[in-house]
Amino acid sequence: MLLLFFSLTLLLSQPTCAQVIYQGGSNLQFLYGGHLNRSGDLATITVEHFGSYSAFEHFGFADLSNDVSLKSPDLYLEYYPKVSLSRATGREIALGPISDVLLGAGVNVLFGGPEDFFVYTAGPAFKFRLPGPGLLQLETYYYRQHGGEYHGTYNITPSWDIPLPATDRIQLRFRGFMDFIGDRGPGSTQYLTQPQLFLDLGNLKGKPGKVYIGSEWRYWRNVAGIEGLDQSVLQANLLFNL
Protein backbone atom coordinates (compact mmCIF):
# COMPACT_ATOMS: atom_id res chain seq x y z
CA MET A 1 0.00 0.00 0.00
CA LEU A 2 2.72 2.49 0.90
CA LEU A 3 4.68 1.62 -2.24
CA LEU A 4 1.51 2.24 -4.27
CA PHE A 5 1.02 5.58 -2.50
CA PHE A 6 4.53 6.81 -3.25
CA SER A 7 4.29 5.58 -6.85
CA LEU A 8 1.06 7.55 -7.24
CA THR A 9 2.66 10.74 -5.96
CA LEU A 10 5.57 10.40 -8.34
CA LEU A 11 3.26 9.87 -11.29
CA LEU A 12 1.03 12.80 -10.37
CA SER A 13 3.75 15.25 -9.37
CA GLN A 14 4.42 18.23 -11.64
CA PRO A 15 7.23 20.67 -10.78
CA THR A 16 5.16 23.68 -11.91
CA CYS A 17 2.09 22.96 -9.72
CA ALA A 18 1.44 25.14 -6.71
CA GLN A 19 0.74 23.70 -3.29
CA VAL A 20 -2.94 23.30 -2.46
CA ILE A 21 -3.95 25.14 0.72
CA TYR A 22 -7.48 24.54 1.93
CA GLN A 23 -8.80 27.69 3.57
CA GLY A 24 -11.03 25.95 6.08
CA GLY A 25 -14.56 24.74 6.52
CA SER A 26 -16.83 22.24 8.22
CA ASN A 27 -19.14 19.48 7.10
CA LEU A 28 -21.83 17.29 8.62
CA GLN A 29 -22.22 13.67 7.50
CA PHE A 30 -24.99 11.13 8.07
CA LEU A 31 -23.96 7.51 7.47
CA TYR A 32 -25.99 4.34 7.55
CA GLY A 33 -24.97 0.84 6.54
CA GLY A 34 -24.42 -2.75 7.46
CA HIS A 35 -21.54 -5.02 8.36
CA LEU A 36 -20.37 -7.16 5.45
CA ASN A 37 -18.76 -9.83 7.65
CA ARG A 38 -21.33 -10.11 10.44
CA SER A 39 -24.92 -9.11 11.24
CA GLY A 40 -25.97 -5.69 12.48
CA ASP A 41 -26.49 -2.21 11.07
CA LEU A 42 -24.56 0.91 11.97
CA ALA A 43 -25.61 4.57 12.09
CA THR A 44 -23.06 7.37 12.42
CA ILE A 45 -23.17 11.15 12.61
CA THR A 46 -19.84 12.79 11.77
CA VAL A 47 -18.74 16.42 12.08
CA GLU A 48 -15.45 17.46 10.44
CA HIS A 49 -13.62 20.77 10.53
CA PHE A 50 -10.51 22.04 8.77
CA GLY A 51 -8.98 25.45 9.42
CA SER A 52 -5.93 27.28 8.07
CA TYR A 53 -4.49 30.45 9.64
CA SER A 54 -1.16 31.70 8.31
CA ALA A 55 1.40 28.94 9.07
CA PHE A 56 -1.00 27.05 11.34
CA GLU A 57 -3.65 24.56 10.21
CA HIS A 58 -5.73 22.04 12.04
CA PHE A 59 -8.14 19.21 11.35
CA GLY A 60 -10.57 17.44 13.67
CA PHE A 61 -13.63 15.26 13.60
CA ALA A 62 -16.18 13.73 15.94
CA ASP A 63 -18.05 10.45 15.31
CA LEU A 64 -21.26 9.60 17.17
CA SER A 65 -21.99 5.99 16.28
CA ASN A 66 -23.63 2.76 17.39
CA ASP A 67 -26.34 0.46 16.10
CA VAL A 68 -29.34 2.14 14.46
CA SER A 69 -31.06 2.73 17.81
CA LEU A 70 -28.29 5.10 19.04
CA LYS A 71 -29.50 4.36 22.59
CA SER A 72 -25.99 4.31 24.04
CA PRO A 73 -23.71 5.67 21.33
CA ASP A 74 -19.93 5.92 21.37
CA LEU A 75 -18.35 9.33 20.87
CA TYR A 76 -14.94 9.26 19.20
CA LEU A 77 -12.81 12.38 18.64
CA GLU A 78 -9.57 13.11 16.80
CA TYR A 79 -7.79 16.47 16.57
CA TYR A 80 -4.56 17.35 14.71
CA PRO A 81 -2.86 20.78 14.78
CA LYS A 82 0.06 21.32 12.39
CA VAL A 83 2.57 24.04 11.47
CA SER A 84 3.69 24.47 7.86
CA LEU A 85 7.46 24.93 7.73
CA SER A 86 7.19 26.68 4.35
CA ARG A 87 4.72 29.25 5.59
CA ALA A 88 6.41 29.61 8.99
CA THR A 89 9.86 30.31 7.50
CA GLY A 90 8.74 32.22 4.40
CA ARG A 91 10.74 29.92 2.12
CA GLU A 92 9.64 26.83 0.23
CA ILE A 93 10.43 23.59 2.04
CA ALA A 94 9.96 21.13 -0.82
CA LEU A 95 11.67 18.22 -2.54
CA GLY A 96 10.52 16.48 -5.71
CA PRO A 97 6.83 15.59 -5.35
CA ILE A 98 6.77 16.94 -1.77
CA SER A 99 5.36 20.49 -1.76
CA ASP A 100 5.53 21.19 1.99
CA VAL A 101 6.65 19.69 5.29
CA LEU A 102 4.61 20.20 8.45
CA LEU A 103 5.17 19.42 12.11
CA GLY A 104 2.08 18.04 13.77
CA ALA A 105 0.60 16.38 16.81
CA GLY A 106 -2.74 14.87 17.67
CA VAL A 107 -5.04 13.25 20.18
CA ASN A 108 -7.54 10.38 19.77
CA VAL A 109 -10.21 9.96 22.46
CA LEU A 110 -13.09 7.49 22.82
CA PHE A 111 -15.99 8.08 25.20
CA GLY A 112 -18.43 5.26 25.94
CA GLY A 113 -16.24 2.32 25.05
CA PRO A 114 -15.55 -0.72 27.25
CA GLU A 115 -12.38 0.95 28.58
CA ASP A 116 -10.73 4.36 28.59
CA PHE A 117 -8.99 5.15 25.31
CA PHE A 118 -6.63 8.09 24.91
CA VAL A 119 -3.84 8.34 22.35
CA TYR A 120 -1.41 11.12 21.56
CA THR A 121 0.68 11.39 18.40
CA ALA A 122 3.49 13.62 17.14
CA GLY A 123 5.69 13.80 14.07
CA PRO A 124 6.17 15.22 10.56
CA ALA A 125 3.59 15.35 7.77
CA PHE A 126 4.19 15.79 4.05
CA LYS A 127 2.00 17.38 1.38
CA PHE A 128 2.36 16.38 -2.25
CA ARG A 129 1.98 18.23 -5.52
CA LEU A 130 -0.99 17.35 -7.71
CA PRO A 131 -1.60 18.32 -11.35
CA GLY A 132 -4.96 19.84 -10.37
CA PRO A 133 -6.95 20.82 -7.27
CA GLY A 134 -7.09 18.46 -4.34
CA LEU A 135 -5.14 17.29 -1.35
CA LEU A 136 -2.71 14.41 -0.95
CA GLN A 137 -0.65 14.07 2.23
CA LEU A 138 1.24 11.59 4.36
CA GLU A 139 1.43 11.81 8.17
CA THR A 140 4.17 9.86 9.96
CA TYR A 141 3.59 9.93 13.71
CA TYR A 142 4.87 8.48 16.92
CA TYR A 143 1.78 6.84 18.48
CA ARG A 144 1.37 6.27 22.20
CA GLN A 145 -1.76 4.94 23.91
CA HIS A 146 -2.29 6.01 27.51
CA GLY A 147 -1.70 3.19 29.99
CA GLY A 148 1.32 1.60 31.59
CA GLU A 149 0.98 -1.64 29.63
CA TYR A 150 1.28 0.10 26.26
CA HIS A 151 4.47 1.25 24.59
CA GLY A 152 4.99 3.69 21.74
CA THR A 153 4.73 2.63 18.12
CA TYR A 154 4.30 4.12 14.66
CA ASN A 155 1.23 5.54 12.92
CA ILE A 156 1.52 6.07 9.16
CA THR A 157 -1.48 7.75 7.50
CA PRO A 158 -1.80 8.67 3.83
CA SER A 159 -4.96 10.72 3.13
CA TRP A 160 -6.51 12.33 0.07
CA ASP A 161 -9.40 14.51 -1.12
CA ILE A 162 -9.47 14.72 -4.90
CA PRO A 163 -12.19 16.05 -7.28
CA LEU A 164 -13.01 13.78 -10.23
CA PRO A 165 -15.01 15.77 -12.82
CA ALA A 166 -16.89 13.48 -15.21
CA THR A 167 -18.97 16.10 -17.06
CA ASP A 168 -20.00 19.70 -16.41
CA ARG A 169 -22.92 18.43 -14.32
CA ILE A 170 -21.49 15.17 -12.96
CA GLN A 171 -18.79 16.08 -10.47
CA LEU A 172 -17.37 13.29 -8.30
CA ARG A 173 -15.13 13.53 -5.26
CA PHE A 174 -12.85 10.78 -3.92
CA ARG A 175 -11.57 11.18 -0.36
CA GLY A 176 -10.40 9.03 2.53
CA PHE A 177 -7.43 7.78 4.51
CA MET A 178 -5.45 4.69 5.51
CA ASP A 179 -4.09 4.11 9.03
CA PHE A 180 -1.18 1.74 9.62
CA ILE A 181 -0.62 1.38 13.38
CA GLY A 182 2.11 -0.79 14.86
CA ASP A 183 2.09 -3.22 17.77
CA ARG A 184 1.57 -1.29 21.05
CA GLY A 185 2.59 -4.13 23.39
CA PRO A 186 -0.79 -5.69 24.14
CA GLY A 187 -2.45 -6.25 20.79
CA SER A 188 -1.26 -6.51 17.23
CA THR A 189 -0.59 -4.23 14.29
CA GLN A 190 -3.76 -2.85 12.75
CA TYR A 191 -4.88 -1.38 9.44
CA LEU A 192 -7.91 0.86 8.95
CA THR A 193 -9.12 2.50 5.75
CA GLN A 194 -12.25 4.57 5.00
CA PRO A 195 -12.42 5.55 1.30
CA GLN A 196 -15.42 7.67 0.27
CA LEU A 197 -16.84 8.37 -3.19
CA PHE A 198 -19.29 11.27 -3.56
CA LEU A 199 -21.49 12.83 -6.21
CA ASP A 200 -21.89 16.62 -5.96
CA LEU A 201 -25.68 16.65 -5.70
CA GLY A 202 -25.89 20.43 -5.51
CA ASN A 203 -24.02 20.83 -8.80
CA LEU A 204 -26.96 19.18 -10.62
CA LYS A 205 -29.04 22.20 -9.54
CA GLY A 206 -26.35 24.81 -10.15
CA LYS A 207 -25.21 25.00 -6.51
CA PRO A 208 -21.88 23.14 -6.43
CA GLY A 209 -20.01 22.17 -3.29
CA LYS A 210 -22.95 22.24 -0.88
CA VAL A 211 -24.50 18.75 -0.73
CA TYR A 212 -22.88 15.43 -1.61
CA ILE A 213 -24.30 11.91 -1.70
CA GLY A 214 -22.20 8.78 -1.87
CA SER A 215 -20.81 5.82 0.00
CA GLU A 216 -18.07 4.89 2.44
CA TRP A 217 -16.41 1.55 2.96
CA ARG A 218 -14.76 1.09 6.34
CA TYR A 219 -12.37 -1.83 6.56
CA TRP A 220 -10.52 -2.44 9.82
CA ARG A 221 -8.09 -5.35 10.12
CA ASN A 222 -7.30 -6.39 13.70
CA VAL A 223 -9.83 -4.03 15.28
CA ALA A 224 -8.24 -2.09 18.19
CA GLY A 225 -5.20 -4.36 17.87
CA ILE A 226 -7.15 -7.59 18.46
CA GLU A 227 -5.60 -10.09 16.08
CA GLY A 228 -8.13 -11.90 13.89
CA LEU A 229 -10.99 -9.46 14.62
CA ASP A 230 -11.82 -7.70 11.37
CA GLN A 231 -14.58 -5.25 10.48
CA SER A 232 -16.02 -4.44 7.07
CA VAL A 233 -18.88 -1.91 6.86
CA LEU A 234 -20.44 -0.45 3.70
CA GLN A 235 -22.39 2.74 4.37
CA ALA A 236 -24.45 5.28 2.45
CA ASN A 237 -23.26 8.82 3.18
CA LEU A 238 -24.98 12.20 2.92
CA LEU A 239 -22.57 15.15 3.39
CA PHE A 240 -23.49 18.82 3.93
CA ASN A 241 -20.82 21.50 3.73
CA LEU A 242 -21.54 24.05 6.45
Beta bridge partners of 132: none
| pTM, full prediction | 0.86
Domain boundaries of the chain, sorted by first residue = 2-14+23-241
Residue 228 in contact with residue 20, Cβ under 8 Å? no
- Residues 6 or more apart in contact with residue 136 via CB below 8 angstroms: 8, 9, 12, 127, 128, 130, 158, 159, 160, 162
The pLDDT score that the predictor gives to residue 59 is 94
Contact between residue 86 and residue 92 where contact means Cβ atoms under 8 Å apart: yes
- The pairing of strands 190-193 and 56-66 is unpaired
Which residues, listed in sequence order, are joined to residue 156 by a DSSP beta bridge?
A: 140, 180
Domain 2-14+23-241 part of CATH 2.40.230.20: yes
pLDDT of residue 40: 77
Integer Cα distance of 128 and 10 in angstroms = 9
Question: What confidence tens digit (pLDDT) does each residue in 73-83 have?
Answer: 889 999 999 99
Q: Taking Cα atoms as reference points, which of 73, 173, 187, 176 lies closest to residue 119?
A: 187
Alpha-helical segments (H) within 24-108: 85-89
186-224 confidence digits (pLDDT tens): 889 999 999 999 999 999 999 999 999 999 999 999 998
Which parts of 75-189 fold into alpha helices (H)?
85-89
> Using 50, 70 and 90 to split pLDDT, how confident is the model at 158?
very high
Backbone angles phi, psi at 130, to 5 degrees: -125, 150
What 166-171 contacts at long range (C-beta under 8 Å, 24+ apart), as own/partner pairs, is: 169/203, 169/204, 170/199, 170/203, 171/199, 171/200, 171/203, 171/208
pLDDT higher than threshold 80 for residue 122: yes
- What pLDDT was estimated at residue 157? 96
CA distance 159 to 12: 15
Q: Which of 188, 191, 106, 109 is nearest to 142 (CA)?
A: 106
- 9: pLDDT confidence band, cut at 50, 70 and 90? very low
pLDDT the model gives residue 68: 59
As a whole number of angstroms, the distance between CA 180 and CA 200 comes to: 30
Q: What is the pLDDT of residues 38-49, one digit of tens each?
A: 777 889 999 999
Residue 153's Cα: distance from chain center in Å?
A: 19
Whether the pLDDT of residue 12 is over 70: the answer is no
Q: How far is Cα 104 from Cα 139, in angstroms, rounded to an integer?
A: 8
pLDDT at 96 over 70: yes
